[in-house]
Amino acid sequence: MPEIHFDRFYRYDDLTRLLHTFAQEYPNLAKIQSIGKSHEGRDVWLLTLTNFQTGPDTEKPALWVDGNIHASEVTASTANLYFLNSLLTRYGQDQAVTEALDTRAIYLCPRVNPDGAEWALADRPKFIRSSTRPYPYDEEPVDGLVGNEDMDGDGRILQMRIPDPNGAWKACPEDARLMVRRDPVESGGQYYRILPEGLIKNYDGVTISISRSKQGLDLNRNFPVNWRQEVDQHGAGPYPLSEPETQNLADFIVNHPNIGNAITFHTMSGVLLRPYDDR
């Protein structure tokens, strides 16, 4: 069984090795392939999971599973890995898993956006929404806070507290590392403003605007269904499937009409979102 840990996040090279090890150790149940390259040229890995002795995947109803289209949502990759590990290690022992892999196929793409995840997991991480491709402008932001960078090199992107008598935050009495809201009528204490860790360019001494990210794409908004142009939907890209990461998925899914269901893992909201049932 491949050695896998769920208490850490895997960078691209380690993830690549791990996925190939699963495919090598379970040749009857798993195959690995690249479904295309990312913007920076990384292979996007996909595992086909089924019992190949009961027939090819393409002749079985299939489930699509993916994750980590958004750069920092590396937990979504972990969820994919957990699912992968559960299926392969429980086959032959768990009746539902065995039946699923005997009669169905699962296409698993644990890291749709390997470039963005690599930035998020770097020694000096950088937080971006999804693709590392500059959009819509290929130039550096001019003024304001160029945020979400690890400025002090501690490997983490945190927040900056700036003393300000009019600030809306104060240190938590129980643990000064935390910030809590100042009461609206409270005065006389030490108050702060909070900004994302980053670099302020051309500070005028008064206002700090948050500059727009140079990497402004949101790959999740680049799919053809209900695609809207930039003015309506920030980060949607110049046209549907303009980006290699979304094109990779669309090509594979269009070429596999046996796919009947899909689950795409994200983080942040803690919700289950379903497509509109009236469209």
Which stretches of the chain bind Zn ion, using CB under 5 A?
Answer: 70, 73, 266
Tokens 């892999």 map to which residue?
A: 101
**Closest distance to Zn ion from the beta carbon of 111 (Å):** 13
**Closest distance to Zn ion from the beta carbon of 3 (Å):** 28
Q: Measured from the CB atom, is 88 or 157 closer to Zn ion? A: 157
Identify the sign of the CA torsion 56, 57, 59, 61. Answer: positive
Q: Measured from the CB atom, is 98 or 233 closer to Zn ion? A: 233
**Closest distance to Zn ion from the beta carbon of 161 (Å):** 28
**Closest distance to Zn ion from the beta carbon of 273 (Å):** 10
7 CB-near residues (< 8 Å, 6+ apart): none
Q: Measured from the CB atom, is 76 or 105 closer to Zn ion? A: 76
**Closest distance to Zn ion from the beta carbon of 45 (Å):** 19
Q: Measured from the CB atom, is 198 or 235 closer to Zn ion? A: 235
Collapsing DSSP states into helix, strand and coil, what is residue 252? helix
Q: Measured from the CB atom, is 39 or 256 closer to Zn ion? A: 39
